[in-house]
Structure 1
Amino acid sequence: MTRIDKRCFATLEFELEWTSSQASHRERFLAKKVNIWRDFFPPGMEEALIGRSIGDTVRMEYGPGEAVPARKARDVRSLSRSTFKPPLRGQPISGPRFGRFYPQGFLSDLVGIYPENVFPFRVIGLEGNEFTADMSHPLADCPLSISAYVHNVAVKDGDVGGRCSVWVEEMGDKGPGMQARWGEHPTDFELQEPLLREDEEQDAAFYARPRMVGHVDAQAREHLQAEYSRFLLPGMQVLDVMSSVYSHFPKRMDLEVTGLGMNQEELEANPALDHHVVHDLNACPELPFPDASFDLVVCSLSIEYVIRPQVFIAQIRRVLRPGGRVVLSFSNRWFPPKVTGLWTTLHEFERLGLVLEILLRDEGFTQLETTSVRNWWRPPEDKYYGQLWTSDPVYVVTGTVQA
């Protein structure tokens, strides 16, 4: 069996775990073609990996600022509102808004800041014509647990060069940390309801024609199934709300599943469903079920279409039994005319923050968690293989109804 040494390439699954004052957070990231000799790892990780083989896991604990850059006093700056200049393209971006993240490239007339800079800053104060921008890493204040699971090991053929990867930056600099509130303060997501969309016509006409599509690739569907399996038990009564042709549940599990969606033909094509309910939640937000009807409610790849998300979550809480769980998942694909405009302006990890914020404002949920799964290979049989090499990302927010 090949063991990791400095002559090896490896495929590693990194898992970064951290907690905010509101929730626990887990980021899964597949590191491909890791060059043990050339690449940079979190402190102590390389040494811990040497000698490991396929199936092994190493875990390291880091204090604030040990794995990602530490917070510095100069990272917090008071700026004039006139410096905030988002680009004039796509959906208009208002701001600055308290608790929100924006690319540093949105700031003008600052030395060393260029329009191409996508690293985030956070608005942590607003007063008159000024705002306070925090330029530090979104995880700068957080203790981190980072594990690496060894998927594959291969000996290099000669002295192979190539790019040099800094793996803590690869997995940690593109969003993790952006889903949490600033302390205990609610994030200003402009959640005035109803949220606006490009197509404001009734949804019934748009969804009258069945769309027998999965919305994400097969690898992403496997990740969704794995996440849902964490909360499923035999005998559960489950509501798949905003359902379609896939429910992403494991096969041969004794569940009673009700699917609520917009198209009867799509629901009938879903083999996981025992009951079909056609219902337009944007036209009639009340779920057509009695209180405390279900043990688990899932909403797969559809929360971005809901125009009254706080009413939607309140209805989910109503139909869940005490101790029941809601699981809300999404990716980065949608039907453009029907997605809410707010959703399109947010960074993918801020979308996690938006969904988490909706659960927090409801005040009826506990044991809140967020999960991200990124950078897996796209399956060769997928129709976009060759155009896109990476599988669709998966983002999940969950919470338990207070007993």
Structure 2
Amino acid sequence: MSGLGEHSLTTLELVLEWQSPEARHLERYLARRVNLWRDVFPPGLKEVLLGKSVGDTVERIYQPGDAVPKHDPKLIHNVPRSRFQRRTVGGRAIEPARGRFYPRGMLGDMLGVYPQDSRPGRIIELDESSMVVDLNHPLAGRPLTLRATVKDTADKVTETGGRLTCWLEEIADSGPGMQCRGGGHPTSFDLQDGLHRLDETEDSRFYASPRIIGHVDAQAGEFLKETYAAALSTLPAKAKVLDLMSSVQSHLPDHLDLHVTGLGLNLEEMEANPRLAERVVHDLNAAPKLPFPDKSFDVVACSLSIEYLTPPRAVIAECARLLRPGGALMVGISNRWFPTKAVRIWMDLHEFERVGLVLEYFQTVPTLTDLRTVSIRNWWRPEDDPHIDQTLTSDPVYVVMGTVQG
């Protein structure tokens, strides 16, 4: 076919870029089986897509209120704290906290809110008797840049009706915006009780037996590599990289000539990792101080493991100490972990709030600047993946990055 038309089906990679006072944010989302005739698109996007072919990219810039509803002061409510509908998840009571998001149905009796309402609302102020609740869209008031790349196309043979998709809702109503602070105040994550775990036995015992497996599917692993590669493209040959909480996979780009030191809890796992030039066995929860001199690495990468740290802020500060001026700290996360060893707060949070938690860790270190986040969601799971019978969707990937001041 010559190009996209009203009767085309297509797959689009949607990329949403926006900025908060704390960081720059990039959200990648695979829009599958897009129906150009039936579906709903952000203003002007469909018009610039028509006639485009596989590989073409279009871009639209939206001012506040153009694509998501503008910020409305009428959606901010003062509610008695007693109206908070407490719930228990996994044996843990969910309590209100400033800056946190909750399903609107938990936030009390407000006009237009019903108990089953799962849309996010945020507590922006909280005291012993009341809470101020913001029901605005998490991206309200922010300029947005949206790019769409045509990945494949097909002619639609018939139109039988059925599902209609609003593509901006698909990408923007499922978490973006929830990773930033509310009103410039640090989010009140429970870092006193929330950093405890169900299994408090020594980590060296839990990890004594090797697990020679990957922790995300192959597609998610490639996206981690791809995101790291974009951040490390200017590194010199033989740049020194610390693979923190290392295991059988480092998720570092294969084409870069790097000298990689792995630090983890199981030597056999690290010996199975061909990317490592050096291996150090070290328990960060028992001893958060890292056994390396100041400014000894160009990059520190921690992949799919930060949820196990009980002193996370101390470890992030140590990472910054180890980095040379201009060095990068990169933390990759997903939605799979060992539940008994992950800290409790991790399981309380929306996936994008977990990104916000890691951002808060970064912001406790003054030397970490140029903070960025990336999310990658809704890609196809590889057909040979052992979990393909449970879900067709690849594991989501989130990365938080920062640079040490030069």
TM-score tier by shorter-chain length is: over 0.9
> How does 1:22-33 map onto structure 2 within 5 Å?
22-33=22-33
Aligned to 1:143: 143
In structure 2, C-alpha distance between the alignment counterparts of 1:126 and 1:253, rounded to whole Å: 48
* Corresponding position: 1:305 with 2:284: no
| TM-score under structure 2 length normalisation | 0.97
> How does 1:217-236 map onto structure 2 within 5 Å?
217-232=217-232, 233=235, 234-236=237-239
> How does 1:121-270 map onto structure 2 within 5 Å?
121-192=121-192, 195-232=195-232, 233=235, 234-270=237-273
Secondary structure at the counterpart of residue 284 of structure 1: coil
Aligned to 1:328: 331
> How does 1:66-77 map onto structure 2 within 5 Å?
66-77=66-77
Secondary structure at the counterpart of residue 161 of structure 1: coil
- How far does residue 93 in structure 1 lie from its aligned partner after superposition? 4.1
- How far does residue 322 in structure 1 lie from its aligned partner after superposition? 1.2
| Matched residues, number | 403
- In structure 2, list runs of 5 or more residues that go unmatched: none
In structure 1, C-alpha distance between the alignment counterparts of 2:220 and 2:273, rounded to whole Å: 18
Asked whether the equivalents of residues 18 and 145 of structure 2 are also in contact (C-alpha less than 8 Å), the reply is yes
Aligned to 2:342: 339
In structure 2, C-alpha distance between the alignment counterparts of 1:219 and 1:294, rounded to whole Å: 28
Question: What is the identity, as a one-letter code, of the residue corresponding to 2:41?
Answer: F
Asked whether the equivalents of residues 194 and 307 of structure 1 are also in contact (C-alpha less than 8 Å), the reply is no
- How far does residue 323 in structure 1 lie from its aligned partner after superposition? 1.0
In structure 2, C-alpha distance between the alignment counterparts of 1:63 and 1:6, rounded to whole Å: 27
- How far does residue 194 in structure 1 lie from its aligned partner after superposition? 8.2
Question: What is the identity, as a one-letter code, of the residue corresponding to 1:229?
Answer: A
Question: What is the identity, as a one-letter code, of the residue corresponding to 2:319?
Answer: I
In structure 2, C-alpha distance between the alignment counterparts of 1:392 and 1:9, rounded to whole Å: 25
* Residues 275/194 of structure 1: CA separation in 2 closer, same or farther (3 Å cut): farther
State the 4+ residue runs in structure 1 displaced beyond 6 angstroms.
none
Question: What is the identity, as a one-letter code, of the residue corresponding to 2:390?
Answer: Q
- How far does residue 118 in structure 1 lie from its aligned partner after superposition? 1.6
Quote the sequence identity (%): 52
Asked whether the equivalents of residues 91 and 341 of structure 1 are also in contact (C-alpha less than 8 Å), the reply is no
Deviations 1:358-392 (A, max 9, x none): 11122221000011000000100000112101000
- How far does residue 251 in structure 1 lie from its aligned partner after superposition? 2.0
* Corresponding position: 1:380 with 2:383: yes
In structure 1, C-alpha distance between the alignment counterparts of 2:225 and 2:255, rounded to whole Å: 13
Larger CA deviation: 143-152 vs 226-235: 226-235
Secondary structure at the counterpart of residue 88 of structure 1: strand
Deviations 1:141-161 (A, max 9, x none): 100000101000110112242
Secondary structure at the counterpart of residue 262 of structure 2: strand
- How far does residue 108 in structure 1 lie from its aligned partner after superposition? 3.8
Please, which of 280, 286, 289 is the counterpart of residue 289 of structure 2?
A: 286
- How far does residue 235 in structure 1 lie from its aligned partner after superposition? 2.2
In structure 2, C-alpha distance between the alignment counterparts of 1:170 and 1:343, rounded to whole Å: 24
Asked whether the equivalents of residues 282 and 306 of structure 1 are also in contact (C-alpha less than 8 Å), the reply is yes
Question: What is the identity, as a one-letter code, of the residue corresponding to 2:166?
Answer: V
Question: What is the identity, as a one-letter code, of the residue corresponding to 1:230?
Answer: A
* Corresponding position: 1:276 with 2:279: yes
* Residues 186/14 of structure 1: CA separation in 2 closer, same or farther (3 Å cut): same
In structure 2, C-alpha distance between the alignment counterparts of 1:339 and 1:34, rounded to whole Å: 37
In structure 1, C-alpha distance between the alignment counterparts of 2:160 and 2:385, rounded to whole Å: 30
- How far does residue 299 in structure 1 lie from its aligned partner after superposition? 0.2
Asked whether the equivalents of residues 238 and 259 of structure 2 are also in contact (C-alpha less than 8 Å), the reply is yes
Asked whether the equivalents of residues 91 and 344 of structure 1 are also in contact (C-alpha less than 8 Å), the reply is no
Aligned to 1:116: 116
In structure 1, C-alpha distance between the alignment counterparts of 2:274 and 2:113, rounded to whole Å: 53
- How far does residue 248 in structure 1 lie from its aligned partner after superposition? 1.1
- How far does residue 190 in structure 1 lie from its aligned partner after superposition? 2.0
* Residues 36/345 of structure 1: CA separation in 2 closer, same or farther (3 Å cut): same
Please, which of 392, 395, 401 is the counterpart of residue 392 of structure 1?
A: 395
* Residues 137/194 of structure 1: CA separation in 2 closer, same or farther (3 Å cut): closer
Aligned to 1:57: 57
Secondary structure at the counterpart of residue 87 of structure 2: coil
- In structure 1, list runs of 5 or more residues that go unmatched: none
Asked whether the equivalents of residues 372 and 393 of structure 1 are also in contact (C-alpha less than 8 Å), the reply is yes
Q: CA RMSD in A?
A: 1.3
